[in-house]
Chains A and B, each alone.
Chain A
Amino acid sequence: MGDKSLSVTPKNNCQLSTVNCQLLTKSYGKVQALKGVSFSVDKGEIFGIIGPDGSGKTSLFRILTTLLLADEGTASVDGFDVVKDYKDIRKTVGYMPGRFSLYQDLTVEENLQFFATVFNTTIEENYDLIKDIYSQIEPFKTRRAGKLSGGMKQKLALSCALIHKPTVLFLDEPTTGVDPVSRKELWEMLKRLKNQGITILVSTPYMDEAARCDRIALIKDGRFLTIDAPENITAKFNQKLFAVRGFEMSRLLNDIRSIPTVKTCYAFGDSHHVTVETGNNDSQDSVQEALYLFLIYKGHTGLEIEAINPGIEDCFMELTKAEAI
């Protein structure tokens, strides 16, 4: 991994980036949640941390928001050290944890008022920043937070995380279990916040949300697999990739896997994505032709095969495969 962004950032670069981590590790008993994570986030970026449950996303967020101490390594947010200057960080960042953690027995307005007061400000002072989001739940401002729907709870939590005008916003899995329409709305809100100069760190298990971020880190088992702009990550995918469709998708999957030159074959929505071992002289057309003939021979109908560009999910699987070896 010669990737520049993975290397440890020199100290004198600290001012340029809002978040800086160097070789963070964290263990819970025998479980190593973070195995030496280093990265930096520039001011005004939307930085996505993308990986499955249990990969270390929440531990990382809790360290950066000073709620958890790392075993080793250093981290700073806005130039403040997460250990020494934890009080400063708590004043300047906004954090929306994965689990709803507002006061269920307070009303919408009381919750917002409470967070404003804790941060020494008022709703009026920063109303502009939250107006977009808060105005959608304002009609229900006398309702108790516990009685809100999932989507409304999320909007309230985001309003509370923003009420003190943070420089950096940490959102831990804001879209998990949320339907596609609400997910899209949330990403649109984040984009508007970015335009107001707020740096955003957001984690998600949904690979298709990668494209919404300026840069992403793919994380698995406490380790970053890669850090880059989503389009650079997909550009680095160095396999020939084909999408194959047919009328019998389940049998097709097994038959493709039985081909000796096929390296991987995974179901991907309406097609199967296939990578193939190729010699230097094999043209894309000849590989495609060979696949086609084999599958016809196996009795498949309705076949469509095309060479395609990979998505982030293809890359994630390719990178985790490489890790496993």
Chain B
Amino acid sequence: MKVITAENLTKKFGSFTAVDHISFEVEQGEIFGFLGANGAGKTTAMRMLCGLSKPTSGKGMVAGYDISKNPEKIKASIGYMSQKFSMYEDLKVWENIRLFAGIYGVPEKEIGHRTDELLRNLQFESQKDTFVKSLPLGWKQKLAFSVAIVHEPKIVFLDEPTGGVDPAARRQFWELIYQAADRGITVFVTTHYMDEAEYCNRVSIMVDGRIDALDTPRNLKDRFNASGMDDVFQRLARGAKRNSD
């Protein structure tokens, strides 16, 4: 089952075409890596898919809803996490979970039970009353991810989720992603770590607003005769005409 379809999705800001006729599909339960240089148009594309920005032209369906016609329905069917904004630092762990579960529309009587389950899965019960600001970054990010899927969305969008965390924490984070995908949650993720691109089932690489390559990491490496995804990325993105950002 397809949970994301984009057909010639385009976004213009004045005369500038930020996203230029991109088309792709993402299957349910897939881990889809959305790569590109700074300024290639990833954020703009992602904002359209999350129902936060209307496309200038083209069509997009996310979780069964049209991104132009039903953006509010989309917002209720997805989870979102970014490195820059994830949790409220001045709230305790359980308060953050409660807040986001409420915002995401988890029924009142289920929130307590979901909170316990979430903390148990992370083996984090003992930190229930800790303020988020005093958690190590790796923990914050694991918690933020769990909170972003507390309502069991069809899709979770992750915008550079692992920046700056230590290697072990980065891997624990990806194991949570694997678990979510195994449960059928589609994971749409951007990252600048090219080894993480390898963890994805398929990746797309955006250059100057277009998707210039889309395939499994293995096929991309074969096609470009490259040793790793970094090599593939360098070859595609070096040709970019746009200045970054």
Taken residue by residue from 244 to 279, chain A's Cβ proximity to chain B (1 for < 8 Å, 0 otherwise) reads as: 000001100100000000000011111000000000
B64 at the interface (CB under 8 A from A): no
A177 touches B160 (CB 8 A): yes
Q: Which of chain B's residues has its CB closest to A220's CB?
A: B166
Please indicate the chain B residues that have their CB under 8 angstroms from the CB of A52 in the complex: 137-138, 164-167, 169
A176 at the interface (CB under 8 A from B): yes
Partner of A152, one of B182, B238, B243: B243
Closest CB of chain B to A225's CB: distance in Å?
11
Please indicate the chain A residues that have their CB under 8 angstroms from the CB of B122 in the complex: none
Please indicate the chain B residues that have their CB under 8 angstroms from the CB of A268 in the complex: 195
A149 touches B171 (CB 8 A): no
CA distance A316 to B169 in the complex (A): 12
**A-B CB pair tally, cutoff 8 Å:** 106
Please indicate the chain B residues that have their CB under 8 angstroms from the CB of A205 in the complex: 163-165
Taken residue by residue from 191 to 212, chain B's Cβ proximity to chain A (1 for < 8 Å, 0 otherwise) reads as: 0111111110000000000000
Q: Which residues of A in the span 39-67 have a Cβ within 8 Å of any Cβ on B?
A: 51-55
A15 at the interface (CB under 8 A from B): no
Partner of B38, one of A150, A269, A317: A150
Q: Which of A74-82, A87-95, A124-132, A180-188 contacts B (4 or more CB under 8 A)?
A: A180-188
CA distance A206 to B194 in the complex (A): 11
CA distance A130 to B244 in the complex (A): 20
Interface residues of B (CB under 8 A from A): 36-39, 136-138, 160, 163-169, 171, 174-175, 178-179, 181-182, 192-199, 217-218, 228-230, 233-234, 237-238, 240, 243-245
Q: Which of chain B's residues has its CB closest to A316's CB?
A: B167
Please indicate the chain B residues that have their CB under 8 angstroms from the CB of A150 in the complex: 38-39, 244-245
Subset of 28 A-B contacts with CB under 8 Å:
A51-B166, A52-B138, A149-B38, A149-B243, A149-B244, A151-B38, A151-B245, A176-B163, A176-B164, A177-B160, A177-B163, A177-B192, A180-B37, A180-B192, A180-B234, A180-B237, A183-B192, A206-B193, A220-B166, A249-B199, A250-B178, A250-B181, A266-B168, A267-B171, A268-B195, A269-B194, A269-B195, A320-B168
Please indicate the chain A residues that have their CB under 8 angstroms from the CB of B243 in the complex: 149, 151-152
Taken residue by residue from 215 to 259, chain A's Cβ proximity to chain B (1 for < 8 Å, 0 otherwise) reads as: 000001000000000000000000000000000011001000000
Partner of A182, one of B37, B166, B175, B230: B37
CA distance A151 to B38 in the complex (A): 8
Partner of A253, one of B136, B175, B237: B175
